[in-house]
Copies of this chain bind each other. A is one copy, B any other.
Amino acid sequence: MRDLELEEYRLRVREGLETGVTAGVAPGRVQANLVILKGDLAFDFLRFCQRNPKPCPVLDVTDPGDPVPRLVAPEADLRTDLPRYRIYERGELVDEVTDVRHLWTKDMVAFLLGCSFTFERALLEAGIPVRHQECGCNVPMYRSNIQCVPAGAFRGPMVVSMRPIPASQVARAVQVTSRFPAAHGAPVHVGDPVAIGIEDLARPEYGDAVEVREGEVPVFWACGVTPQAVAASARPPLMITHSPGHMFITDLRDSDLALF
């Protein structure tokens, strides 16, 4: 996708003409999770992200009241430029909308967090299979027994995603994803699901189960569902997020996030 095409796509989203999932849109551009909080909770949440960079890699955080992500998409408006949003009150989902201008207040802070699309593309380019993509389903995600470092009201377990990797390619998968700390980075755990509190790989808490074949190792990465789950469990008066799969598309290219 050329810059102009991205600009046109974003305008169509802004006008409410594009409301679908963003998988496959603007290949090579970094997509991001969105969390909007207000007041003191925003500072608490930024400290939470700083303490838990693997599940919560911050790509951009706006100034209070500023809906423009000046680091990663200075022409965009986070109140209108995602195809679909979720509204939470005290941790309960109360609405799903395509525009949040009517809810925006001058103490709101928007967080854009890296997402796994970036490192999955890197895995595929390195010739490493991504099972759930082969199956056309969602990645399996599990609540682990790894506790995040708390900050203010924000605390809880790390949610991890699992990809079965052939034993001969595990080391390469670690190398490839290590280049992208802003997209969850290296795995948090390799093999032995029970050691991180996952009793049954066939029963993920989120997403879909996938087969782990003979000669494959289950490899676990920190997952972007963590910040949403943690933020919701803090039961803030109001929280806005993207709807699952309906991400914000930044101006950044995957290569901009690569360490080297």
Contacts and interface: CB of A to CB of B under 8 A. Distances in A.
Interface of A: 42-43, 46-47, 50-51, 58, 61, 63, 70-71, 149, 151-152, 175, 178, 181, 186, 259-260
A259 B46 contact: no
A260 B186 contact: yes
A47 B70 CA distance: 12
How many copies are assembled? 2
A51 B70 CA distance: 10
A149 B47 contact: no
Given A50-B61, A51-B71, A178 B259 contact: yes
Contacts of A46: 43, 46-47, 50
Contacts of A70: 149
Nearest to A151: B63
23 contacts: A42-B43, A43-B43, A43-B46, A46-B46, A46-B47, A46-B50, A47-B61, A47-B63, A50-B50, A50-B58, A50-B61, A51-B71, A63-B151, A63-B152, A70-B149, A71-B149, A175-B260, A178-B259, A178-B260, A181-B181, A181-B259, A186-B260, A259-B259
A10 to B, nearest CB: 22
Interface of A is mostly: mixed
A191 B61 CA distance: 33
Interface centre among A50, A61, A71, A186 (most CB of B within 10 A): A50
Contacts of A260: 175, 178, 186
Nearest to A260: B178
A71 B150 CA distance: 11
Contacts of A181: 181, 259
Contacts of A178: 259-260
Interface centre among A43, A51, A71, A178 (most CB of B within 10 A): A43
Nearest to A58: B50
A151 B61 CA distance: 10
Going nearest first, the 9 A-B pairs with the smallest beta carbon separation are: A43-B43, A178-B260, A46-B46, A50-B58, A47-B61, A50-B61, A51-B71, A178-B259, A71-B149
A47 B175 CA distance: 30
